[in-house]
Amino acid sequence: MPDDSTTQAIDTAARMLRNDLERTCGASPAAAVALETALAGRRAWVDAWPEGAEHVPGLVAQDVQEIIHASVDDRWPMCPEHLDHPLFIEPDLGPDAFWVCDRSGLPVAPVGGL
């Protein structure tokens, strides 16, 4: 049975990613499935490594993006500055993950803040 810290980490990540999906018009049935798949996988991960709970939002964002790219060949979320490429997550593992423009290398928004 997951403890409260696992549930809190997963709920926080879910809320942040739903916000980013909704604000970038990425809230589709495929995206909802991608989010649920990513959350389920990271629930087991944070159960195994509770100290990593602060990293869950960034990891879920990466997971959702990879699932969307692989399943629907979509480039989500698109860069608001250069509409021809998606944003990516930085750092790969960190408590304060943010969306970054691949072209300029500049941060665009924190995860959950698009």
Write the pLDDT tens digit of every residue in 72-105: 667 889 999 988 899 999 998 888 999 999 899 9
The range of the structural domain enclosing residue 51 comes to 4-110
Residue 80: per-residue pLDDT: 92
Counting the structural domains of the chain, the total is: 1
22: number of Cβ within 10 Å: 12
Question: In the predicted model, is pLDDT for residue 2 greater than 70?
Answer: no
Q: What is the reported pTM?
A: 0.85
